[in-house]
Chains A and B, each alone.
Chain A
Amino acid sequence: MKRIAAIFLMTFGLADFFLARAALSINGAGASFPEPIYSKWFDEYHKKDPNIQINYQAIGSGGGIKQITEGTVDFGASDGPMNDDQLKSFQDKHGFPVLHFPTVLGAAVPTYNIPGVNAELNFTPEALAGIFLGKITKWNDPALTGPNSGVNLPGNDIVVVHRSDGSGTTYIWTDYLSKVSDEWKSKVNKNTSVNWPTGLGGNKNEGVAGLVKQTPNAIGYVELIFAIQNKMPYGKVKNSSGQFIKADLASVTAAAAGAAKDMPADFRVSITNAPGKMAYPISSFTWLLIPSKFSDASKRDAIKGFVKWMLADGQNDTEALAYSKLPKEVVSMELKALDKVQ
């Protein structure tokens, strides 16, 4: 028994020694909305520079904000910008500010699973707000049948699926609903997690997509790539110009066009319900949250190196995963802002 234990320990120590020596490891956590592109980037970047491995855990945007504030991770990530209180509590705790760096643009889409319906549905802002407020409960409600005249919607109960964890996708979704519905704004408001009036909770984008897929008559919201990869149908949404727009690279880029021109210096900007005829209304930037001071210079250089690579070569990976590239103006602003990280 002792000998077995000793052999076990030896192999294990050796394995650990050889496997784990390689790299400087950097830990980040947060948004699951950009997880596909982040895990792709960190994988690529590790191949490019085997000495650096960036471990990203998609624990949700709320988690990204919390853990960077606690200082338990080297960087955070969020789909909703930190609010003033959160920025202040970071400043108070650490004595220096935390910076936002946009990485890509994404979209949240209404995805559904209605047996017998394969058509692409049209959603008005009123219909989405009604469904998520629990006021529209049947798929054949006039608010839904109106804009979808060719589709035979059943009289089944709608099963609403939302995120159960703190999430940037929720932030984008509720940010949008707050802009289009006063009732939503006063009753629920926007945040990474809210007090949902109705529905089931799924954990992370994966959980929501999974629940929608497994539950007939469900509707939920997920990041575009999750809908595409899972071959789930998702609907068009009526934008501020009255057009029903499908989320894709062009329509999300269109939503960012206005914001790119007068981007605030701290990059905290909302582009939901953006003006523009072709703009998809539930679009957003997603941000890395990087402290402006690092005690460990090698970590700082590695993170800055990564951000530079991400703003240049990294942007080429985005479109394959259905994220839109950053506008050029934003990229050059970010390169300047990177100097603030010390």
Chain B
Amino acid sequence: MATTSTTVPSAGPFLGSRSFLARLREGDEIARLVTLLFAASVVLITLLIVYELWQGSVLPRHKFGFAFLRTSVWDPNFDNFGALPFIFGTVVTSAVALFIAVPLGIGAAIFLAELAPARLSDALEFFIDLLAAVPSVIYGLLGIFIVVPVMRDVIQPALKNTLGFIPLFKGPAFGIGFLTAGIVLAIMVIPYIISVSREILLSVPRDQREAALALGSTRWESTWKVVVPFARTGIMGSIFLALARALGETMAVTMVIGNTPAIAASLFSPGDSIASVIANQFTEATGELYTQSLIELGLVLFLLTFILNGLARVLILVTSQRGSAHA
């Protein structure tokens, strides 16, 4: 019965030695079966989702095969569907988001875990948890009315003037596009990075820090060279978690990305992501192949997040176990 995979001290099922009949009479067996039913339905629903996605995308899987992932045409008029522009958009916006969110998030987590007095740290953590609860449509609302105009009139022209020689920052400034979507995503995932990284950093054993300080390190050196490396895998986990969230994010991205399937070198270019093309076209795709291609996009998205979430969990688990093994 001993579970080795969880970090929680397991109370464990305490099956006694009483007979099956006795347990049935006391209601235990019934309770077990009833709760089992509910637990099984969780598994069932998950399997059903996978089944729906798989079954719903038979046509394009047969017609296009893996070429679906490599082609960049999305043409409902001539029944040609390729996912590349959407995969590109999803990956680019998420990359931009992480580029901004990781340094900020980890910096903030270090402050909360290492520097701030416990009281302040908890108070700030409270606000950060609230931030994580803000629904994405609200980020989209603020994105449209605040971020987009600021990007168009201030940030993009400034980037163009200073870094315009890099292809990333070329082209007309529309305000909407990959960069804007990435920034909005960054704002959305920062709380996740902070929250998880802070927990991880707090779980690093005291003696590690104290040893480093005793050896004459400055406070920053003990943090950066001892504590952070110790927590490295866990922090990576938090980043993967944020990435998984960014990849699947729909509303906020749809509202600011431009909704144009494009593969472009410039971050100013409008684009489209997997989630937003589904949101835009799913209810109105006429023709089986068109609808099913959108469902296959859903399948691709599902697999991407599935892999990332798995990696994230393994990494977080590894670190926290190392931490508790030490303590």
In this complex, what residue of B is CB-closest to A65? B286
CB atoms of A66 and B75 under 8 A apart:
no
Q: B286 touches which one: A66, A164, A215 (CB < 8 A)?
A: A66
For the complex, what is the distance from the CA of A86 to the CA of B152, rounded to whole Å? Answer: 42
Which of B78, B149, B174, B254 is most buried by chain A, counting CB atoms within 10 A of its CB?
A: B174
CB atoms of B281 and A199 under 8 A apart:
no
A106 on interface, CB distance cutoff 8 Å: no
Residues 179-190 of chain A, each 1 if its beta carbon lies under 8 Å from chain B, else 0: 000000000111
Min distance, Cβ B81 to any Cβ of chain A, angstroms = 10
CB atoms of B259 and A203 under 8 A apart:
yes
A192/B284 contact (C-beta < 8 A), A200-B270, A201-B259 known? yes
Identify which of A7-15, A19-27, A56-64 touches chain B: A56-64
CB atoms of A202 and B175 under 8 A apart:
no
In this complex, what residue of B is CB-closest to A174? B77
CB atoms of A200 and B284 under 8 A apart:
no
For the complex, what is the distance from the CA of A194 to the CA of B308, rounded to whole Å? Answer: 33
CB atoms of A193 and B76 under 8 A apart:
yes
CB atoms of B285 and A166 under 8 A apart:
yes
A159 on interface, CB distance cutoff 8 Å: yes
In this complex, what residue of B is CB-closest to A60? B284
A67 on interface, CB distance cutoff 8 Å: yes
CB atoms of A201 and B270 under 8 A apart:
yes
CB atoms of B75 and A200 under 8 A apart:
no
CB atoms of A195 and B73 under 8 A apart:
yes
Interface residues of chain B: helix, strand, loop or mixed (majority): loop
Min distance, Cβ B155 to any Cβ of chain A, angstroms = 16
CB atoms of B175 and A215 under 8 A apart:
yes
In this complex, what residue of B is CB-closest to A164? B259
Min distance, Cβ A175 to any Cβ of chain B, angstroms = 12
Among B128-157, those with CB < 8 Å from A are: 148-149, 152
Among A201-228, those with CB < 8 Å from B are: 201-203, 211, 214-215, 217
CB atoms of B284 and A165 under 8 A apart:
yes
CB atoms of B280 and A203 under 8 A apart:
yes
Min distance, Cβ A321 to any Cβ of chain B, angstroms = 24
Tell me which residues across on chain A come within 8 A of B280, comparing CB atoms: 164-165, 201, 203
For the complex, what is the distance from the CA of A192 to the CA of B284, rounded to whole Å? Answer: 9
CB atoms of A201 and B283 under 8 A apart:
no
A196 on interface, CB distance cutoff 8 Å: yes
Tell me which residues across on chain B come within 8 A of A194, comparing CB atoms: 75-77
For the complex, what is the distance from the CA of A188 to the CA of B77, rounded to whole Å? Answer: 8
CB atoms of A201 and B286 under 8 A apart:
no
CB atoms of A66 and B176 under 8 A apart:
no
Which of B75, B283, B285, B286 is most buried by chain A, counting CB atoms within 10 A of its CB?
A: B286
Residues 302-316 of chain A, each 1 if its beta carbon lies under 8 Å from chain B, else 0: 000000000000000
For the complex, what is the distance from the CA of A117 to the CA of B285, rounded to whole Å? Answer: 38
Min distance, Cβ A179 to any Cβ of chain B, angstroms = 16
CB atoms of A200 and B283 under 8 A apart:
no
A193/B174 contact (C-beta < 8 A), A65-B286, A200-B260 known? no
A157 on interface, CB distance cutoff 8 Å: yes
CB atoms of A201 and B174 under 8 A apart:
no
Q: B260 touches which one: A29, A59, A199 (CB < 8 A)?
A: A199
Min distance, Cβ A75 to any Cβ of chain B, angstroms = 16
Min distance, Cβ B68 to any Cβ of chain A, angstroms = 16
Residues 171-185 of chain B, each 1 if its beta carbon lies under 8 Å from chain A, else 0: 010111000000000
Q: A201 touches which one: B75, B148, B152, B272 (CB < 8 A)?
A: B272
For the complex, what is the distance from the CA of A100 to the CA of B254, rounded to whole Å? Answer: 33
B258 on interface, CB distance cutoff 8 Å: yes
CB atoms of A59 and B284 under 8 A apart:
yes
Which of B75, B78, B281, B283 is most buried by chain A, counting CB atoms within 10 A of its CB?
A: B283
Min distance, Cβ B259 to any Cβ of chain A, angstroms = 3
For the complex, what is the distance from the CA of A86 to the CA of B284, rounded to whole Å? Answer: 13
CB atoms of A67 and B73 under 8 A apart:
no
CB atoms of B284 and A63 under 8 A apart:
yes
B291 on interface, CB distance cutoff 8 Å: yes
Tell me which residues across on chain A come within 8 A of B76, comparing CB atoms: 166, 191, 193-195
For the complex, what is the distance from the CA of A215 to the CA of B254, rounded to whole Å? Answer: 17
CB atoms of B77 and A202 under 8 A apart:
no
CB atoms of B260 and A166 under 8 A apart:
no
CB atoms of A164 and B284 under 8 A apart:
no
Among A81-117, those with CB < 8 Å from B are: 85-86
In this complex, what residue of B is CB-closest to A163? B259
CB atoms of A66 and B259 under 8 A apart:
no
Query: B residues bordering A, Cβ < 8 Å?
Result: 73-78, 80, 148-149, 152, 172, 174-176, 254, 258-260, 270, 272, 280-281, 283-287, 291
13 more A-B residue pairs beyond the given contacts A60-B284, A62-B281, A201-B258, with a C-beta to C-beta distance below 8 A: A63-B284, A67-B284, A164-B260, A166-B76, A166-B285, A192-B284, A193-B76, A194-B75, A195-B77, A195-B80, A200-B259, A200-B260, A202-B259
Chain A to chain B contacts (Cβ below 8 Å), 10 pairs: A61-B284, A62-B286, A63-B283, A164-B260, A191-B76, A194-B76, A201-B280, A211-B176, A214-B148, A214-B149
Which are the 6 A-B pairs with shortest beta-carbon distances?
Answer: A63-B284, A201-B259, A164-B259, A195-B75, A62-B284, A166-B284
